[in-house]
Amino acid sequence: MAPTIHYYCPCQSGESVQMPPPPHMASSSASFHPLHSLFFCEECDAVRCNRCVSIEVSGYYCPNCLFEVPSASVRAEKNRCARNCFSCPICRSTLQVVASDPPDGGDGRPSVSLSNVGEPPFFLYCNHCRWDSAEVGITFEKPTGLAGTPLPLPISLHLIIYLTAQLQKFEDSAPESLEFERLKEHFEPFLRTSSLSSLSHVPSTSSHHLPTSSATAAASAALARDVPGVGKYNPLTRSRVGRDRTANKDEMPEYKSRMEISILGQLGSEGDGSDVEALRRMEIAEEIASLEQRWGNSWTTSLRTSDLRPLRIPLHSKVSKRCPTCRHILIKPEQKAQSVRYKIKLVAANYLPAMTAALPHTQGADATRRPQAKVPSASDDRNAGAMTAGKSYPFHLALTNPLYDPIQVRLSVQRMHVTAVTDSTAPEKARRTPFAVSLPTSSFPVAAFAEAWEYDDDDEMFGLEDDELGLEMGRTRDKDGKGKVKTVGVLEKRANVTVVGGEVVIGKEARGHVKFNMLVSYTYRSDDPLPSEDGVGTPSRAAVAKTPEVKTFTFYTVVDLGPILPREEKVDPDI
């Protein structure tokens, strides 16, 4: 496993505490994120993550036909694609419209063809699990009036749209759905009047809110009537109390359900006799639809796989994201559904220095490996990347500056972490012995990002890269041989990247991962607060100050250098 560096978003901690949780706790992973998934609010001068931003839907589209659905029709179509997009009820892949085999299919032509000579019964076919809609009796005939038309595709499409409507109608005509609609209808005028009156209503002495109580009272009265098991005393007494107090606005007509609840129970599939019978006669487990196959349905459906119907594909949405505190937009996508551009995109990667960690002793192993093993396999990495307890290892941190100004960076290992570890070692001494991390203590510069570095990397970087790599390899070899090279401090600078070295000394009984919180603070000069450049600083402050100004931004990261191997005596006899 390669070393990772994740960045801290303070949204999980309280207002006062800005310290990240100790890294060895499993719960701390919720507060740390990879840099590329974070946002940066210029107004608040703070990092934001996907957990804390507020999200607004800016558009809906079908993930299959990529049609952008106007938000007005999304609700009417129940958040599903109303065109010819269906997913397989068995495996959820997309269904395809196919024609039947020609009658003389002796030439071995595949049946999956959109040929002009498609035979009448069209059906939906799953390319993955080979389910087809003919199994459940959904086929499409050509309408007789259009039999002579030489264009079968539009006809079948027309039929598919019909099927879409049918499926939605089927869904809408489910007894539960109708009952729900009826209930909503029934309560709507009441809720409206009660909400109106509650505005003018003087708060009464009763502990519960009256409109709510009368609404629930009416609902529970209906429930008490329809469901035989529910006792009548509780809801009715309460509703009588409510009625006494607010006699004028509790004139609720009695709700009449569409049908008796007992009939509903028979229509549904909630564990009644026929299901038991089906289970009794079941021969293969696949006869019963899995939970995954059923829970996408709006209402309860039959347990049997043979009763599953093709599903209309749920829509996806594009979202814009806002800062949770100042409401400024952080992400605003382009209107077009499949565009990957953004009108506004304030991601943390454009503000904070990107950091990567590396362990030179694993790189040495990589470099000396045969060129055949180009892709370092996971199993190799696991052994090569691990550190043995009781030894010390150098590590490299590469910082890349995304800003157009040079920055001064200071790194420090979070002090709280050390105390936390010693605290935890007190009760369980054997299990968690700390490791000591040394980092360069003075601040070091990282050069400004220049577009030029981005573009001429292909031609000029080659020679440079070779030199650097050779240098680095030489250094690692030295270390492997003697281990008496400077490890802590600035190791190299190129373009907008600075590599610093650190060292970790692992205790003899250490277990788990070498994982520590690191405080990074960087100072930058925002000397020209132009609108195009003000991404560098907080615009409110930058606008005021026209003179060169030095600002500091501080953030926490967690560095995971990899697992610690328990000490093996035979591996290092010199200790």
Partner 1 sequence: MDAPVYYSKAEFIETDTGNKVSRRATIAGPQNIILGGKTIISSGAIIRGDLRRTGPGHAVVISLGRYCLVGEGCVMRPPYKTYRGNFNYYPMKIGDYVHIGANSVVEAATIGNHVVIGKNCVIGKFTIIKDCAHVADNTVIPPNTVIPALALFVGSPGRFVEDLPESTQEMVESQTKQYYSRFQPLER
Beta bridge partners of 394: 503
Nearer to partner 1, 180 or 455 (CB): 455
| Min dist. Cβ of residue 475 to partner 1 (A) | 13
Q: Which two tokens stand for residue 148?
A: 């002579």
Q: Give yes or no for a contact between 20 and 28, defined as CB atoms under 8 angstroms apart.
A: yes
Phi-psi region of 495 (alpha: psi -120 to 50; beta: other; left: phi over 0): left
| d(C-alpha 170, C-alpha 268), whole Å | 14
Q: What is the amino acid identity at position 385?
A: G
Task: Note whether 422 binds partner 1 by CB under 8 A.
Answer: no
Task: Note whether 79 binds partner 1 by CB under 8 A.
Answer: no
Nearer to partner 1, 221 or 407 (CB): 407
| Min dist. Cβ of residue 445 to partner 1 (A) | 18
Nearer to partner 1, 126 or 224 (CB): 126
Task: Identify the residue among 201, 245, 345, 511 touching partner 1 (CB under 8 A).
Answer: 345
| Min dist. Cβ of residue 55 to partner 1 (A) | 11
Q: Give yes or no for a contact between 490 and 411, defined as CB atoms under 8 angstroms apart.
A: no
**Would strands 550-565 and 513-525 be described as parallel, antiparallel, or unpaired?**
antiparallel
Beta bridge partners of 566: none
Task: Note whether 251 binds partner 1 by CB under 8 A.
Answer: no
Which of the residues 123 through 182 are near partner 1 (CB under 8 A)? 126-129
| Min dist. Cβ of residue 417 to partner 1 (A) | 25
Beta-carbon neighbour count of residue 222 at 10 Å?
Answer: 19
Which of the residues 319 through 338 are near partner 1 (CB under 8 A)? 331, 337-338
Which of the residues 351 through 380 are near partner 1 (CB under 8 A)? 356, 358, 363, 366-367, 371, 374-375
The size of the interface with partner 1 (CB under 8 A), counted in residues, is 53
Task: Identify the residue among 466, 467, 480, 572 touching partner 1 (CB under 8 A).
Answer: 466
Q: Which of 248, 243, 184 minimizes the C-alpha distance to 217?
A: 243
Q: Which two tokens stand for residue 177?
A: 């759905």
| Min dist. Cβ of residue 115 to partner 1 (A) | 6
Nearer to partner 1, 114 or 575 (CB): 114
Nearer to partner 1, 293 or 433 (CB): 293
- Exposure string for 340-362, b = 16+ CB within 10 A, e = fewer: eeeeeebbbbebbbbbbbbbbbb
Nearer to partner 1, 81 or 163 (CB): 81
DSSP code per residue over 288-340: BPPHHHHTTSSS---SBGGG---EEPBPEEEEEEE-TTT--EEEEE-SSTT--
Q: Which stretch binds partner 1 (CB under 8 A): 21-29, 86-94, 276-284, 523-531?
A: 86-94
Nearer to partner 1, 236 or 384 (CB): 384
Distance (Å) of CA 163 to CA 144, 156, 303, 313, 367: 17, 10, 23, 13, 60
Residues lying near partner 1 in the complex (CB under 8 A): 36-37, 50, 61, 63-66, 91-94, 96, 109-110, 113-117, 126-129, 316, 331, 337-340, 342, 345, 347, 349, 356, 358, 363, 366-367, 371, 374-375, 396, 398, 457-458, 461-462, 465-466, 469, 497, 499
